[in-house]
Chains A and B, each alone.
Chain A
Amino acid sequence: MSYNTYRMYKLVIVIIIAVGVSSAVAAGVPWLPVPVAAAGAAAMLLVKRRVKEIVVDERTWRIAERAGRLAFQWGAILMALAAATLLALARAGNTSFEQAGFILAYTAAALVAIYYFSYIYYSKKLGGGE
C-alpha cells in the first residue's frame, strides 16, 4: 500500500470514528464511543502495517510536539478566559453559567498541572541538572 492510499484510509477511519462517537452521544448511548474508538484504533494499526513506506519519523514527531504545545498554550488560555467570563456572568446574576465556568476553570488548571509535571519528568529524563 502506498503512503497516499494509507492517508486516504486514515481519513475514512477518522470520519467513521467521529460519526460513530457523535451519533452515540446524540443517541444517549454513553458506552458506545469506547468500542467504536477501540475498533478505529485497531483498524488504523492494521492499515499502518500494510504500508510499504515509513509513515512516522522524527519530523512527524517534531511537528506533533509543536502542534501539541501550541494547542496546549492556546487551549489553556482560552479555557481560562472562558471560565473567567462565565463565572463573571454567573456572579452578575446568570447562575446557569456557574457550573460550566467552574468545570472549565478546573480543566484549565488540570491541563497546566499535567504540563508542569510532564515538563519536570522530561527535564530529568533528558538531563541538564534542572
Chain B
Amino acid sequence: MARINNRIRRLRFDHDEMTQEELAARADCTRQTIIALEQNKYLPSIELAFKIARVFGVSVEDVFQYMD
C-alpha cells in the first residue's frame, strides 16, 4: 500500500529549531495539523503541501516522499 512520508520535523529543526506553532502560523494551518503530519496520521492537501514547502524554501518533493 502506497504511503507518503515527510521530513517536516527534520526541516523544522534545521531551520533554527522552528516550533510547530511558528510553522502552523506561516503555513496557515493549526498546530494540531502539524502534529498530525509529523506523526504521519494525516495527508495534507496539495495546497497545504506547497505552503509548507514554501515556508522551508524547498520543493514539495523535499518535504514529502511517495513510497510505493
Contacts and interface: CB of A to CB of B under 8 A. Distances in A.
A53 B44 CA distance: 19
Contacts of A3: 30-31
Interface residues of A, number: 9
Interface residues of B, number: 15
Looking at chain B's contact residues, the main secondary structure is: helix
A59 B31 contact: no
Given A58-B44, A58-B48, A59-B36, A53 B28 contact: no
Given A53-B30, A54-B25, 9 more contacts: A3-B31, A53-B24, A55-B30, A56-B30, A57-B29, A58-B29, A58-B44, A59-B30, A60-B30
Contacts of A57: 28-30, 33, 48
Interface string B14-44: 0000000100110011111100100000101
B56 to A, nearest CB: 18
